[in-house]
Structure 1
Amino acid sequence: MHGYGSAKAAFATMLQHYDMELGGKGLRVHNLHLGAVFTPGAESSGATRESMRWDEEGLCGGFVLWLCAKGRFMRGKFVWANWDVDELEGRREEIKKDADLLRLGLVTGGLELFKRGA
């Protein structure tokens, strides 16, 4: 799984850009982690049913229904299907207020780091 992490980060960033470009046109973009479901692929990579706590197969579908019905404030965010939707709704204003919350990106100190003596 060498390139998995970098590919996942690149894809997440691409989805954030799609959201910025298309969000004003009525399209909602969510970067959704489906959860960890025990599949034949997981088993072939060495995982067992006992190796971790697996998510139920229907979890993602239920989360997507919530996103469609009530999750507009999560537009452009990185979300996991196994997150508690009641907690997310309780933090709605915080999530809406902070444009960078639940997004992937590179955070730097800005150009002042490159000044002499810094």
Structure 2
Amino acid sequence: MEYAVSALLIGLCLYLVVQPFFASRKEWEVDTLKDDLDTMTLEQVYATLNELDMEYNMGKLPGNEYESLKAQYEKIAVSLLKEEAFLEVEQGDRKTRSEMEATYDREITRELEELKLQRKGE
């Protein structure tokens, strides 16, 4: 009786260990996955960029990681600004593409400077 129970327990353990190797693989649909970056607002992106600057200046964040994260969040900010601008264009406010991109760059720089000044004031 003891041998039968021991054999069943060992068999169950072996099944649980080996079963994932023989299960069919699930394909992830990357286009349908949602993450926090899909629902970020422009203020959240600016706040994150501000935090990145602060952590980099304090020495908590290495330079290469800082640059890659900063570039990623700047791209998100630009895409959000473009989305806002294209909505404005659809509503009748016409601008050329180069004017809009220059406006985005100026607005991002202005917002980052304001956040830096607020951080220094605190």
Same fold (TM over 0.5): no
Question: Relative contact order (alpha carbons < 8 A, sep ≥ 6): 1 or 2 greater?
Answer: 1
More strand by share: 1
What is the TM-score of this pair, normalised by structure 1? 0.30
Which structure would you say has the larger Rg? 2
What is the TM-score of this pair, normalised by structure 2? 0.30
More helix by share: 2
